[in-house]
Amino acid sequence: MKKEQHIQKQIDETLEITSQFSKVKISHQFKEKVMSQLFVEKKQLIFSWFTPKLQYATLAMVIVINTFAIFYITKSNYNSNIQTFAQSFNISTEESLLN
Amino acid sequence: MSEKGFILKLQQGDYGSYNKLINTYEKKVFGTCISFVPNKEDAEDIAQEVFVEVYKSIKKFRENSSLSTWIYKITTNKCLEFIRKKNTKKRFAFLQSISGNDIPLDRSNYFTEFNHPGIVLENKEKSETLFKAINKLPENQRIIFTLSKIEGLSYKEIVEITEKSLPSVESILFRAKKNLQDILHIYYKNLNL
């Protein structure tokens, strides 16, 4: 019986503890933090259309275009180099203006 | 400036109006956050998210309640979101630990660490016990008990925030107190063994 009363006393004290809470002050920097977050976020919205997916797609396209460009430049250089080499050893089948 | 005019300025993203908004509501918002999550740092993080949400959602505000009530609703939802996430992490960590992954686990807290500056040291243990007991309540009982007994809101204010009827709020509060009695009874019975 005494034990039960003791338990109930502990329960009552626990439930009543809220009446002893005092008001808590928020930190001084809170407002500055929030304002800078709100208005920095606003500036970032200007480029919000350029999402990460779009960024990766653009990068992939740039790489592909560059690869093709390098491939074709290299190929045309190769052909003209072969021609020059052949002419210098007189083994070209094309007619020269000098002949 | 009327509330309508103030809301219009907020919808236009007026810097000065947001400055005024935070000045007016930061204490109430933070007070509510720390009532739900008794850790100063966590409560400040949640309060910050509340104002960001207000900024993002102000254009959707239909003015079917006061601005204050709307902000309280956002605050309550953000607190519950935080608690749900923490409780999910606890459950996940518990599953990890029983599957053999050694992850440090604190199964008892939904807050980082009990750090409520409004509670004196001698009351810390009982307060922590109370918050853990509140965490075991069903969500609607937790909301109403916290808003009523910890935040100290009137029944009228709770009715506006929760959009429940007055009899419903009274009934839920009654059940919350009864459940807390039962939870604490088991806790203290085991403690006194």
CB contact under 8 A, A27 and B120: no
| Contact call for residues B129 and A17 (beta carbons, < 8 A) | no
Number of Cβ within a 10 Å radius of residue B75? 28
DSSP string, B23-68: HHHHHHHHHHHHHHS-BHHHHHHHHHHHHHHHHHHGGG---SS-HH
What is the pLDDT at residue B10?
95
Give A53-71 as a DSSP string: HHHHHHHHHHHHHHHHHHH
* ipTM value for the complex: 0.79
Provide the residue type at B100 as one letter: G
Average pLDDT over residues B178-185: 95
Task: Mark residue B63 as left, alpha or beta (left: phi above 0; alpha: psi -120 to 50; beta: remaining).
Answer: left
Q: Which of B188, B110, B124 is nearest to A9 (CA)?
A: B188
Query: Model pTM greater than 0.95?
Result: no
Per-residue buried b or exposed e for B163-173, using 16+ beta carbons within 10 Å of the residue's own CB? ebeeeebbebb
- Which domains are delineated in chain B? 120-193 (1.10.10.10)
Interface probe, candidates B21, B36, B48, chain A, greatest A C-beta count within 10 A: B48
- What is the reported pLDDT for B90? 62
pLDDT, residue B108, reads 46
Residues of B in contact with A27 (CB under 8 A): 44
A18 in B contact zone (CB under 8 Å): yes
From first to last of the 99 residues of chain A, give the pLDDT tens digit.
788 999 999 999 999 998 888 888 899 899 999 999 999 855 565 566 788 888 899 999 999 999 999 988 887 666 777 778 888 888 766 555 554
**B86 with B111: CB under 8 angstroms?**
yes
Rounded-to-integer distance, Cα B59 and Cα A1, Å: 61
Residues of B with CB under 8 A from a CB of A: 13, 15, 18-19, 22-23, 26-27, 30-31, 34, 40, 43-44, 47-48, 51-52, 55, 116-120, 123, 126-127, 129-130, 133, 149-150, 177, 180-181, 184-185, 188-189, 192
Q: pLDDT by residue (tens digit) across B142-158?
A: 999 999 999 999 999 99
